[in-house]
Amino acid sequence: MAHVVQCVVLKREAPGLERVPYPGELGKRIFDNVSKEAWARWLQQQTMLINEYRLTPIEPKARKFLEGEMEKFFFGAGSAAPQGYQPPK
């Protein structure tokens, strides 16, 4: 049976993730409230943040920053692009 969630990003029911995508309580909240489509949007946002801020995801400081942005993206006001960011054409 497919996992269906009331997605906090899409504001509608949608297919959920197949497994918890992140460790801890945040991962459980994401699994329970975020759809596959919204998770894919986050991955694009995360990639942009890593590239624009030149983050090294294995560094604890970078991981903490990305975790905070993930929390904002799904459950807060949203994760903003860096100042001056121009999306690719």
Residue 15: give the domain boundaries: 4-75
Taking each helix axis from N to C terminus, what angle separates 60-75 and 36-53, rounded to the nearest 10 degrees? 140
Residue 39 lies inside a defined structural domain of this protein = yes
Residue 42 lies inside a defined structural domain of this protein = yes
Query: Strand ranges (DSSP E) for the chain?
Result: 4-7, 12-15
Residue 62 lies inside a defined structural domain of this protein = yes
Q: Which helix (H) or strand (E) holds 41?
A: helix 36-53
More confident residue, 4 or 79: 4
Residue 1 has pLDDT above 70, yes or no: no
Residue 76 carries which DSSP code? S
Instruction: Over range 20-42, report the average pLDDT.
Output: 96
Residue 87 lies inside a defined structural domain of this protein = no
Residue 56 lies inside a defined structural domain of this protein = yes
Q: Tell me the percentage of the chain whose pLDDT exceeds 90.
A: 82
Residue 88 lies inside a defined structural domain of this protein = no
pTM of the model: 0.89
Residue 40 lies inside a defined structural domain of this protein = yes
pLDDT of residue 63: 95
Q: How many domains are contained in the chain? A: 1
Residue 53 has pLDDT above 80, yes or no: yes
